Amino acid sequence: TTGTAPTFAVTQNPAPASAAERAHRMDSQPFGTVFTDHLAKATWTAEQGWHDHRIEPFGDLVLHPGATVLHYGQQVFEGLKAYRWADGSIHLFRPEANAARLATSAHRMALAPLPEADFMASVEALLTVDEQWVPSADETSLYLRPMLIGTEPCLGVRPSRTVEYVLLASPVGAYFPNGVKPVSIWVAQGYHRAGNGGTGQAKTAGNYAASLLPQQQATDHGCDQVLFLDAARDTYVEELGGMNVFAVRRDGTIWTPRVTGTILEGVTRSSVIELLRAEGREVVERDISITELRDGIADGAIQEAFACGTAAVVTPIARLVSPDHDVVVGDGGPGTVTMALRQRLTDIQYGRADDVMGWMRRV
């Protein structure tokens, strides 16, 4: 149910950044470090429910130092993108899926869920005032980051009775500094991302905080991303630090870890599965052991591997590294299935191909 969409009232509207200022701020900055002129916000209290939907000038948040988000990490977030098409129009990719996942994540973290109608209205309102920030260069988009945070001052461990919804936006290009060049992945040693019954399926800050140290290990070993194995057996491939993982086999089938409750069910992941299946490819969601992956890469049974996510789109994987192995995928270059898939997905997202799946929403 979508309910009635609230209006996000514009509270103050200072002069937006000039075109020159925008261009200057966006010029080859690292992913997610440039922000637009406004925020969309709404407030929830137990008494009033969701209210005070508004657009504010971009600025710092004022939080009580006792806010539950600061002490116990009561937070959930999303990532989605707005794309500028060649005709200048702006389109979102499957925003309802992000609205639904935000609600599911909120449930897990005992936060009041934001109704889908409010989510959609916030995105539309922010894109209306920050329209000029949707970039148009190749491979660029406006990355939207909605979040819910517990704001009640309470050092007792219990759910906040006040929640703030904040939507920020950041013009972005490729997630990895080297663009879409193949990346290398490091198998996490001694660390896991999530356990059974934990928060692995929720998009919540703590999962990413927990990935930072193992990600640092990956970097120390010259790799771009960390790969996590399951916590119970330390055997099965789960996901990378911030994206899902796929393997393309010589027999034409494509494998990806099944969702078990400990991995994040990516919107790009499910879209990629649907696109591949629509092309007649067999996609198998299964347990994949690290041995199967490593040996498959080494003996050529696995010819390509890729990471996918809203931020990463579809990024080829060239190497799998751990203390006892270092294997190169295929010839170390981007695979043909991977790059065709990336093209197929981005053609839909940028309006270069018909939206046969019905995924795009014009703003």
Enumerate binding residues for ligand COI (CB under 6 A).
Answer: 79, 242, 309-311
DSSP state of 88: S
Name which of 242 and 296 has its Cβ closer to ligand COI: 242
Name which of 145 and 325 has its Cβ closer to ligand COI: 145
Min separation Cβ 277 and ligand COI, Å: 22
Name which of 201 and 310 has its Cβ closer to ligand COI: 310
> With contact defined as beta carbons under 8 Å apart, do 267 and 94 qualify?
yes
CA dist 128 → 8, 90, 132, 148, 169 (Å): 11, 10, 9, 22, 12
The kind and range of the H/E element at 97 are helix 95-108
Classify 262 in phi/psi space as left (phi over 0), alpha (psi -120 to 50) or beta: alpha
Q: How many angstroms separate the CA atoms of 68 and 161, rounded?
A: 10
Min separation Cβ 81 and ligand COI, Å: 8
Name which of 105 and 162 has its Cβ closer to ligand COI: 105
Name which of 303 and 338 has its Cβ closer to ligand COI: 338
Classify 179 in phi/psi space as left (phi over 0), alpha (psi -120 to 50) or beta: left
Q: Which two tokens stand for residue 43?
A: 């407030």
Q: Please, which contacts does 212-217 make with residues 24 or more away whose CB atoms are closer than 8 Å? A: 214/188, 214/189, 214/241, 215/241, 217/186, 217/188, 217/189, 217/191
Name which of 79 and 214 has its Cβ closer to ligand COI: 79
The kind and range of the H/E element at 82 are strand 80-84
Min separation Cβ 309 and ligand COI, Å: 3
Name which of 6 and 173 has its Cβ closer to ligand COI: 173
Name which of 247 and 311 has its Cβ closer to ligand COI: 311
Among positive and negative, which fits the CA dihedral 342, 345, 347, 353?
A: positive
Min separation Cβ 203 and ligand COI, Å: 7
Q: Which two tokens stand for residue 9?
A: 């009232």
Min separation Cβ 161 and ligand COI, Å: 28
Min separation Cβ 192 and ligand COI, Å: 18
Min separation Cβ 76 and ligand COI, Å: 11
Q: How many angstroms separate the CA atoms of 40 and 168, rounded?
A: 7
Min separation Cβ 197 and ligand COI, Å: 22
Q: Which H, E and C letters describe 219-260, residue by residue? A: HHCCCCEEEEECCCCCCEEEEECCCEEEEEECCCCEEEECCC
DSSP state of 315: E
Give the β-pairing of 90-93 and 80-84.
Answer: antiparallel
Residues whose CB is less than 8 angstroms from the CB of residue 353 and which lie 6 or more positions away in sequence, other chains included: 344, 347
Min separation Cβ 139 and ligand COI, Å: 15
